[in-house]
Amino acid sequence: MTDFPEDHLHESAISPADNSSSAAPAPENSAQKNPLAGGFPAVEAPYAEPEPIALTPAASYMESPAPSAEPTLFQSFVQPPVRPPIRIPHFGHLCLLLMLGGIGFACTAAVLFFAMHFHLFGWELTTKSATDIHLVLASEALLYLITFAFSLVVFPLFWDESFFTGIQWRGAAALKRFWPLAATALGCFALAALDEVLMPGPSNAPIEKMMRSSEAAWLMFGFGVTIAPFFEEMFFRGFLLPSLCTAWDWAAERIAHKPAPPLGANTHPQWSFSAMVAASVLTSIPFALIHVEQQGHSLGPFILLIVVSLVLCTVRLKTRSLASSTLVHACYNFFIFSAAMIGTGGFRHFDKM
């Protein structure tokens, strides 16, 4: 050892860790844990950045992370069968309407019995009241309205749509064709005039007996152009005609193994031509029968009513609008009653009828 200052500096620069004989080994990483304790931290080798490893497409595919979405717990591998939409109205709906009509008839009978029992409106439980025009029209209007009220509530539960949509009312389509429909009604009135000349009915028909007073005639006029056409069309062209068309095509599909006709507007079926012709004839016969008593069971008016009904069925099927056939029916009745009004001088001279 020399006394040069360099020697002291050399000794102080030596780390205690280098003198294994004079100092105890320091605990591992002690200087790193507590740098204020004696000694200098060990010098570590510099960190070398690893070279990037090029991945082949197969390797990159293997290294890609798995999808995080969990598989569904229940999974159906079989699609449910597609069910064709139900054709409405069908015979089941027609039977339901008849049931509602039976309920309406019972309610009407109860109301009329109550009115006649307490002599309301001058009605009594006599045979004379049975021919009173006020009682007759009131009973028909009450029956129609009660049945209609039940129909508005019940049928939408089965159809999943409103009542007027189910019967294809389509009032806008009727208003759009107002003048052609009115001309159709005028043509039916011309047929009625021709039928009166070729095959006249009895001179003393029951409907003429009911119109022997001015008040009764005006009541018949108002009832015949408003309530009667609406409810008659609702039953015959709104329920009976579509039910017969659907039944005819259904039978043809089962016999000939043909597919069902395609659906049209509002998911309603497009019936075949043969179904529409047969259903129109079958609808017109009962329509004429319910009016034949008013005409004295005469053949001429009966044939006329069948022809008029066929025209109404054609309008209903052509326009696919029940409002259109109702408009033609109301206009036809308007022309009939207007002719009677003009012929009697405002329903004052019934001897001219």
Least-confidence region, from 50-54, 142-146, 230-234, 268-272: 50-54
Tell me, what's the pLDDT at 278? Answer: 96
**Which pTM was predicted?**
0.73
Containing domain of residue 134, as a range?
87-161
Same domain, 130 and 207: no
CA separation (Å) from 270 to 276, 309, 311, 333, 351?
Answer: 10, 21, 19, 30, 50
Residue 34 lies in a domain: no
Residue 130 lies in a domain: yes
The answer to whether residue 125 scores a pLDDT higher than 60 is yes
Tell me, what's the pLDDT at 20? Answer: 45
Tell me, what's the pLDDT at 33? Answer: 46
Same domain, 190 and 125: no
Higher pLDDT, 269 or 19: 269
Tell me, what's the pLDDT at 172? Answer: 95
Residue 55 lies in a domain: no
Same domain, 110 and 143: yes
Q: What percentage of the chain has pLDDT greater than the value 70?
A: 70
Same domain, 222 and 280: yes
Residue ending a domain, among 137, 161, 185, is 161
Tens digits of residue pLDDT in 167-186: 999 999 999 999 999 999 99
Same domain, 264 and 308: yes
Tell me, what's the pLDDT at 353? Answer: 62
Residue 292 CB partners (closer than 8 Å, separation 6+)? 298, 301, 302, 305
The answer to whether residue 30 scores a pLDDT higher than 50 is no
Mean predicted confidence (pLDDT) in 53-74: 51
Same domain, 119 and 256: no
Confidence of residue 297 (pLDDT cuts 50, 70, 90): confident
Residue 58 lies in a domain: no
Same domain, 210 and 194: yes
Q: Give the highest mean pLDDT range of 62-66, 107-111, 271-275.
A: 107-111
Residue ending a domain, among 161, 189, 217, is 161
The answer to whether residue 127 scores a pLDDT higher than 70 is no
Residue 63 lies in a domain: no
Same domain, 203 and 320: yes
Least-confidence region, from 18-32, 173-187, 282-296, 309-323: 18-32
Higher pLDDT, 316 or 21: 316
Same domain, 176 and 212: yes
Mean predicted confidence (pLDDT) in 238-257: 90
Mean predicted confidence (pLDDT) in 138-157: 96
Residue 73 lies in a domain: no
Tell me, what's the pLDDT at 262? Answer: 58
Q: Give the highest mean pLDDT range of 57-71, 167-181, 259-273.
A: 167-181
Tell me, what's the pLDDT at 46? Answer: 53
Same domain, 110 and 256: no
Tally of structural domains, the chain: 2
- The token duo for 131 is 């021919």
The answer to whether residue 166 scores a pLDDT higher than 50 is yes
Same domain, 209 and 335: yes
CA separation (Å) from 153 to 96, 98, 105, 147, 274?
Answer: 12, 15, 17, 10, 34
Residue 260 lies in a domain: yes
Confidence of residue 120 (pLDDT cuts 50, 70, 90): confident
Residue 33 lies in a domain: no
Least-confidence region, from 120-129, 144-153, 235-244: 120-129
| Average pLDDT for the chain | 79
Tell me, what's the pLDDT at 116? Answer: 86
Same domain, 309 and 332: yes
Residue ending a domain, among 101, 135, 161, is 161
